[in-house]
Structure 1
Amino acid sequence: MMFDQILETLRDNGKSGAAYTKTIALAEQAMKDDAERAVAYGLLCELGERFLESTGRLPVTSVQIDKAFEEFSKATNDLKAAYDKGDAGETLQTVNAIATLSRTPLDLSA
């Protein structure tokens, strides 16, 4: 599973738009390399793209960046935990919750 590597890539690259772009590319590669979890990696792509679409070229504060990172981190860790546990029902619930989150506008209010 590449969940930790995806999260580390975002963290180590400053949680910026460029970092989300790298994270999306890594998640896309993970979809190909770890097809059993492709839906989870696809959802992380969606969350990364949502960040990029929400921020565009607008200035973003460090508080907003940290808030978005916390949300992305929670989603990533929830997916990892669900797959680690191996309970299909719990995994489906987690995937569904994150799918819903990925279609909810990113709230960057401080």
Structure 2
Amino acid sequence: MPAIDVIGRQARLLSIWAEGPRLKEDTQARFGHVHVVALTSHDLFDGAFRVIARDGAALIQIQLRLQKTFRALPGMGDSVFQEAARHQAQLAMTQAEDAMVLEDDKERVRAVARHSL
């Protein structure tokens, strides 16, 4: 399932982000007149997972993979990174609760989510 592959790739990218800057501190900007708005961990988590969580809200496979990913990511990075992971876990859980029909599916996702919230 392509969405599950994307979740895995996003998790790998975010784990690199969690490690912190990779550039040497003495690195000079090559283009001094180019300015970019700084990205935050919340921005990255939102861009990486919000649409997948929404579009896959009723799909048990996607929700389980998301919650397992959110369970792993809070162990990395700084407190802002960890809070962003917990926030996305809660949003995905709320969407799953609203969209899933089978109570058994909801309970399976809840069981995994309990460890990530």
Which TM-score band applies after superposition, normalised by the shorter structure?
0.3 to 0.5
**Highest CA radius of gyration, 1 or 2?**
2
Q: Taking structure 1 as the reference length, what is the TM-score of the superposition?
A: 0.39
Q: TM-score, normalised by structure 2?
A: 0.37
**Which structure features the higher share of helix residues?**
1
